[in-house]
Amino acid sequence: MDERWRLFAAVYGDAYRNLRDLTYAPGQVTPRTAAQLTAAMKGIERVWVVTGGRKHQNSAFVEDDERYLALMGDRDFTLKSTDDFGYS
């Protein structure tokens, strides 16, 4: 999750209180690699991916991210749904 979205989650913290951000390992300043993220997700039943999205012109497209690609390639992961919010 890039810093803008981390700030958004911090400002509206109540909605995200029970969620764990696996982007960074505790105490680290660089995001986890795809392999590190996959290892960190072991035993977790539900994963939410939050991004600027496909329709936002100034946002990196999540589907180009190595961590997203690793998640989609994980045989233990099943995509249930996707939603776009705030764009017409």
The tens digit of pLDDT for each residue in 29-57 reads 888 999 998 899 888 888 887 766 555 55
pLDDT tens for each residue of 64-78: 778 888 888 888 888
Identify the pLDDT of residue 48: 81
**The 3-state secondary structure of 39-87, one letter per residue:** HHCCCCCCCCCCCCCCCCCCCCCHHHCHHHHHHHHCCCCCCCCCCCCCC
Q: Closest Cα partner for 2 from 53, 52, 69, 36?
A: 52
- Gap between the Cα atoms of 85 and 52, Å rounded: 10
So where are the chain's domains?
3-73
* pLDDT beyond 60 at 58: no
Please give the span between the terminal C-alpha atoms of the chain, in angstroms, as a whole number.
23
pLDDT, the chain, mean:
76
